[in-house]
């Protein structure tokens, strides 16, 4: 065989290998049906009342880990605006967490007052939880475990990481902390 044939075989092999690698990377971003039901989970509201996620069935759900001393804290205003604008189709669930540079140091009462007084938050806020590590809350365990949610294995990378769940309890998208709640990237999936 000549050198041209050997180079052609190497080129074909490289193209196939690169295609397989790209397919494998993109595979994680394809939402699949969840293995475990999101609606079997529950959490405690900031006032201590236990709520089943089943009570949100039939609406899209935007789950956000929030913090009051973060550079992204002004997103509370955008989350509230999004919630008000799309309340017929959407519920926003805020989960305060102190997991990133201790940017949510307050008590549940402090957090509730802060959100009400500074951002007029009316969407459901939950008790302060862990969103990463071995003690993470069951909601975040589900959100970051592909064996449970069907495809995503990425937990929050910072405060205000967003997860969108459809009306049937299927995780459809994970958004970075910097993605504005009012971005077309999010609103186009809610309408």
Known catalytic residues?
Answer: 70
What DSSP line would sit under the chain, residue for residue? --HHHHHHHHHHHHHHHHHHHHHHHHHTTS----SS-GGG-EEEBTTS-EEEGGGGTTSEEEEEEE-TTSTTTTHHHHHHHHHHHTTTTEEEEEEEB-TTTT---S-HHHHHHHHHHHH---S-BB--B--SSTT--HHHHHHT-HHHHSS-----SSTT-EEEE-TTS-EEEEE-TTS-TTSHHHHHHH-
Closest CA to 157 of 75, 104, 100, 103: 100
β-bridge mates for residue 93, sequence order: 63
């Amino acid at each position: 065989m000549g050198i041209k044939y050997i180079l052609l075989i190497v080129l074909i092999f490289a193209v196939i290998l690169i295609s397989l690698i790209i397919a494998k990377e993109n595979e994680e971003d394809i939402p699949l049906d969840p293995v475990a039901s999101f609606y079997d989970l529950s959490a405690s509201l900031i006032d201590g009342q236990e709520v089943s996620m089943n009570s949100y069935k039939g609406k899209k759900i935007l789950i956000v880990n929030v913090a009051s001393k973060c550079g992204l804290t002004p997103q509370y205003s955008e989350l509230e605006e999004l919630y008000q604008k799309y309340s017929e189709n959407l519920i926003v669930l805020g989960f305060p967490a102190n997991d990133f540079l201790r940017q949510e140091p307050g008590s549940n009462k402090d957090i509730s007052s802060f959100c009400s007084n500074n951002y007029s938050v009316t969407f459901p806020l939950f008790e302060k939880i862990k969103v990463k590590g071995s003690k993470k809350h069951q909601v975040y365990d589900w959100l970051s475990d592909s064996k449970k949610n069907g495809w995503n294995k990425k937990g929050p990378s910072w405060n205000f990481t967003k997860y969108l769940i459809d009306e049937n309890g299927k995780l459809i998208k994970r958004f970075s902390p910097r993605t504005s709640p009012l971005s077309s990237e999010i609103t186009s999936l809610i309408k």
